[in-house]
Chains A and B, each alone.
Chain A
Amino acid sequence: MDWTIIQQALPAYGHGFVLTVWLSLVGIIGSIIVGVIASLLQYFKTPILSQIATAYVELARNTPLLIQLFFLYYAFPVIGWRMSSITAGIIGLIFLGGGYMAEGFTGGFQGVTDSQINSGEALGMNRFQLARYVVFPQGFALSMPALAANVIFLIKETSIFTVIAIPELTNTALDLIGMYYRSNEYLLMLVIGYAIIMIPVILLLNWLERKVRYGAFGD
């Protein structure tokens, strides 16, 4: 271990760290929005749109982010859609994450028990009231574990951005290793960088999961 190497690399890692955090945040928020929309389309069985949503969810979940990014960044320019690597990264991550989130929410909606739905119906609720007051509040609470897993997954997936040369954490480390041929120091910094992001996130999500569960079901 050479401490001067670590010291010199700190600013570069700082930039990579900020970029990873920022891309993760944008990607997670975008994914949740897309996921909510897609899962609602599926829930209300909106004609055509729900089929499109289902096709999208399956395509997003069953293909790797890497190839999705290659498509956006290398193939789309051929038909005239040019975008920066950061734009491609964000669109790719939201495309992927939206599918995962939608699947999680749908699972939550389906987890609401029949007896809950029946008792709502017995109170004379219509389809939308049932969704608004029974299925969604309970369904979102039930999908919290999936949401938490997806958040962790999406943060880690930003490391794939290195293939389109977005200078996030992983790309920063690989660049430095390539330039200076020192791997131990740079890999250690990379691991610590992810630990600094992931450990608080995991703890926060665990706390949030308990809180939401308690708020919705009281246990």
Chain B
Amino acid sequence: MAHSGINVLFSGSNFDRLLVGLWTSIWIAALSIIIGLLIGTIFGVLRTMPNKIIRCILRVYMEIFRILPSVVLLYLVYYILPRSLHINWPGTWMAVLAFSLWVAAEFSDIVRGALQSVPLAQKESGLALGLSKMQLFLYVLLPQAFKLELPATINLATRVIKTTSILMLISVMDVINVGQQIIEANNQKFPTGVFWVYGLIFFFYFILDYPLSVWAKSLMAKQK
């Protein structure tokens, strides 16, 4: 009985449609991670600077994202952008915006922590060579910080990938939304199709995230 449902995956263009949906999730995650890491690096560096006001603002920014669930963040962007700011973007862009801001907040904290754990002596020996502040960050502090923070960054990436599952809430045609459509369309013919479609999506997410978390874990074991 249940095994007949597997056919739903391969009837018509269903499998291809699921892959297209998956690709949407992947590029939204990838783009958000890239943008978020860039902004987060700048915020993280600023959070190690002496200026108290900037530090305080960025701290509050980070804490807001720590308090709010990503679903809520996504809906804030989804409703505020068009209704209060009259910006009408497609759902995919709004998702990239929400996720990027979230990644930036989390990454700023990772960068700050890593920068602070680079020994002070490294900073001084850079200064003693006449490096400017910018050069010091670019060639000495940030490369060392990135190495320290790589496992945490990979873990953040796995969370972003998992969080793309909420894209369906704002009607983005992601892998889950496509899956639901396929399930509804084939409910009569394949009543157990739901099992296979969600099973496949479960598997998709697992093969995206599992290698990354294994990588992060092995890096962490090496750092010990």
A residues near B (Cβ < 8 Å) are 58-59, 61-68, 70-71, 74-75, 78-79, 152, 156-160, 162-163, 170, 173-174, 177, 183-184, 187, 190-191, 194-195, 198-199, 202
Contact = CB atoms under 8 A, between A and B. Distances in A.
Nearest to B83: A183
Given A157-B69, A183-B80, A191-B72, A78 B210 contact: no
Given A71-B198, A183-B80, A62 B210 contact: yes
Interface string B59-78: 00000001111111001100
| B interface, size bucket | 35 or more
23 contacts: A61-B209, A62-B209, A63-B202, A63-B205, A63-B206, A64-B163, A65-B165, A67-B176, A71-B198, A71-B202, A74-B198, A78-B195, A152-B66, A156-B70, A158-B69, A159-B70, A159-B71, A183-B79, A184-B83, A187-B75, A187-B80, A194-B68, A195-B67
Given A158-B69, A174-B75, A184-B80, 17 more contacts: A58-B210, A70-B176, A71-B202, A74-B194, A79-B2, A152-B66, A156-B68, A159-B71, A159-B72, A160-B69, A162-B71, A173-B75, A187-B76, A187-B79, A194-B68, A195-B67, A202-B66
Contacts, number: 106
B114 to A, nearest CB: 16
Nearest to A156: B69
Nearest to A77: B194
Interface string B183-220: 10000000110110011011001100110010000000
Nearest to B161: A64
Contacts of A67: 165, 176, 198, 201-202, 205
Nearest to A160: B71
B138 interface: no
Contacts of A187: 75-76, 79-80
B69 A194 contact: yes
Given A63-B205, A79-B2, A79-B195, A170 B210 contact: no
Contacts of B69: 156-160, 170, 194
Contacts of B84: 184
Nearest to B166: A66
A198 B79 CA distance: 23
Contacts of B68: 156, 191, 194
A204 to B, nearest CB: 14
Nearest to B175: A67
A147 to B, nearest CB: 16
A194 B80 CA distance: 18
B72 to A, nearest CB: 6
- Give the 5 A-B CB pairs with smallest separation, nearest first: A64-B165, A159-B69, A156-B69, A62-B209, A183-B79
A70 B168 CA distance: 13
A166 B71 CA distance: 14
A43 to B, nearest CB: 16
A66 B80 contact: no
Residue of B69, B162, B176, B210 with most partner-chain A CB within 10 A: B69
A135 to B, nearest CB: 16
Contact of A62 (B158, B199, B201): B158
Contacts of B210: 58, 62
A75 B195 contact: yes
Given A74-B194, A78-B191, A174-B75, A61 B213 contact: yes
Contact of A194 (B2, B72, B169, B205): B72
Contacts of B168: 66, 163
Interface string B83-115: 110000000000000000000000000000000
A156 B65 CA distance: 11
Contacts of B199: 71, 75
